[in-house]
Amino acid sequence: MADRIIIFDTTLRDGEQSPGASMNKAEKLRLARQLEKLKVDVIEAGFPITSQGDFEAVSLISKEVRGLTVAALARAEKVDIDRAWEAIKDAANPRIHIVIATSDLHLKYKLRKTRREVLEVIQRAVSHAHRYTTNIEFSTEDGSRTDPDYLARAAQTAIKAGATTINIPDTVGYALPEEFGELVRTVREKVSADDRVVWSVHCHNDLGLAVANSLSAVHHGARQVEVTVNGIGERAGNTSLEELVMALHTRRDLMPYSTKIEKKQIYSTSRLVSRITGLVIPANKAVVGANAFSHESGIHQDGVLKKRATYEILTPRDIGLDKSILVLGKHSGRHAFQERLKELGYVLSPEDMQKVFDRFKELADKKKEVVNEDIEALIADEILMIPDTYKLIYLSVISGNMAVPTATVKIEVNGEIIQKAGFGVGPIDATFNTINKIIQTCTKACKLVSFSVNAITGGMDAQGQVNVRVERDGKIVLGKGSDSDIITASAKAYLNALNRLEYLKKNPIKKL
């Protein structure tokens, strides 16, 4: 049995299903490039039938990111499969990923089909995909709650029709490790073409067991694991890439399997995903959390100073945590800056390059040291934005312990400049109220669901990154903004959210 584990990253698809974590086309491409640097084997770039935006993002990634397999998700329906293929057909190595539920619960209440009917659908769908490619993955949704005999029949049907990877999902995160591993082994034993297919698992983290279940599946013969960076994904998320990879690496004494992952890219990938999605990494998150390598107790500190291995099983260096400290300053020239962008995976047009370089120079004047995280934030602000229906032109805020917080805001709305002033209980409230006055559709309809400020890097002169979640008509979107002034960052974040709402109005996502 091969000892190489294929890492299938679905941050761009299942990860994007985290509430409020939607990404635009440019952000998806940026992340796909980083996943290529991380050396994942497969990326699931999206679910093309769900929206025109997703279709375009998958198609763009397929053309631009050549060093890995690009998968697109499709339900077991001809229209979905055709659309998926259309999006990935230019990829260096395209894969169609077909999914249909197989548990009796889903058959009865969701699909309203019999077991026999579902087998027919599988046969038709996989055969249809086989006209396009031989690289076909078939997923048995709610696999962990499916009768193992039927699961094996579904897998066998898909293999006979041309599937080369069979994925067993624990869709609702219900399984326990030993039980799930046993299920993988049982199904493999029941399927006669076992040696011709790659067995894969896709675990959700509802009970906090996604990584444990995936490891157990590997122990019982799975050779592809589906993961997301930082474990983001539907509800409680998916198997975390960094935890799975570092567990395999650290305990290779008991689990002698390798991955192709470039571990030194783990930290920067994790930060990038957090910045793009606005999903903050908890300080105690395994492997990439801020506290993952800090020792608080005196006994631990003493032990680590005497011998690291006493309390440390991983080092920051293992995941590339020391790398982003390479500093640029106000004397750094265009060439050094351009080189750094290249290293970070950005290929910018000369106009975009100029915009970002100007912003870098402005920032370097205010801040002594500009690190990778700062540059990523500048690019997120300047380049990765969705089209600006509303653009901040001017902001002035008066606040203090004796003043009524007052904001004067000038915004360009579809080419027209509008200026207004307003009050609030604090400077940010005054800014948001004034923006709402200008964008009148928001006065009643928009609700600020959450607001958070984080320092992008350490130090008193750090840039502030503001994330807001805004709700309108039942849709929640994330808005992001960064600036060395946090009120300006807040205004940018709020406008970014409103721009996303406008974008979604014009490019609706079909709910499946």
* Residue 236 vs 453, nearer CB to ligand KIV: 236
Site track for Zn ion across 461-480, x = CB under 5 A? --------------------
287 phi-psi bin (left φ>0, alpha ψ -120 to 50, beta other) = left
- Alpha carbons 245 and 260: distance in angstroms, whole number: 10
Smallest distance from ligand KIV to CB 99, Å:
4
Strands (DSSP E) contained in 48-184 are: 69-75, 94-101, 136-141, 165-170
For residue 117, the minimal CB distance to ligand KIV (Å) is 20
Residue 141 contact partner, candidates ligand KIV, Zn ion, none, CB within 5 to 8 A by sort of partner: ligand KIV
Neighbours of 315 (CB within 10 A): 12
Give the residue from 92, 19, 80 showing the smallest Cα distance to 54. 80
Backbone angles phi, psi at 196, to 5 degrees: -95, -10
Pick 232 or 428: Cβ nearer Zn ion: 232
The entry of Zn ion, ligand KIV, none near residue 99 (CB within 5 to 8 angstroms by kind) is ligand KIV
Nearer to ligand KIV, 16 or 242 (CB): 16
Least distance CB 408 / ligand KIV (angstroms)? 48
Taking CB atoms, the residue at the shortest distance from Zn ion is: 14
| CB of residue 167 to ligand KIV, shortest distance in Å | 6
Distance between CA atoms of 364 and 358, rounded to whole angstroms? Answer: 10
Dist CA 367 CA 361 (whole Å): 10
Q: Which two tokens stand for residue 438?
A: 């200008």
Which among ligand KIV, Zn ion, none contacts residue 139 (Cβ within 5 to 8 A by kind)? ligand KIV
Residue 273: count other Cβ atoms within 10 Å of its Cβ: 26
Nearest CB to Zn ion, comparing residues 141 and 376: 141
Q: Minimum distance between the CB of residue 111 and Zn ion, rounded to whole angstroms?
A: 17
Q: Which is nearer to Zn ion, 47 or 390 (CB)?
A: 47
Q: Does 44 bind Zn ion (CB under 5 A)?
A: no
Distance CA 151, CA 169 (A): 11
The letter for the amino acid at 138 is: F
Tell me which H or E stretch contains 307. none
DSSP label at 491?
Answer: H
Beta carbon of residue 139, minimum distance to ligand KIV (angstroms, whole number): 4
Q: Which amino acid type is present at position 281?
A: I
Of the CA atoms within 13 Å of residue 183, those in its CB half-sphere come to 26
- Counting contacts by CB under 5 A, is residue 226 touching Zn ion? no
Contact 70, 94 (CB under 8 A): yes
* Residue 14 binds Zn ion (CB under 5 A): yes
Work out whether 9 is an interface residue with Zn ion (CB under 5 A).
no
- Binding span for Zn ion by CB under 5 A among 10-18, 255-263, 361-369, 420-428: 10-18
CB of 223 to ligand KIV, least distance (A): 17
Binding site for ligand KIV (CB under 6 A): 14, 73, 99, 139, 141, 167, 169, 171, 202, 204
- Residue numbers at the binding site for Zn ion (CB under 5 A): 14
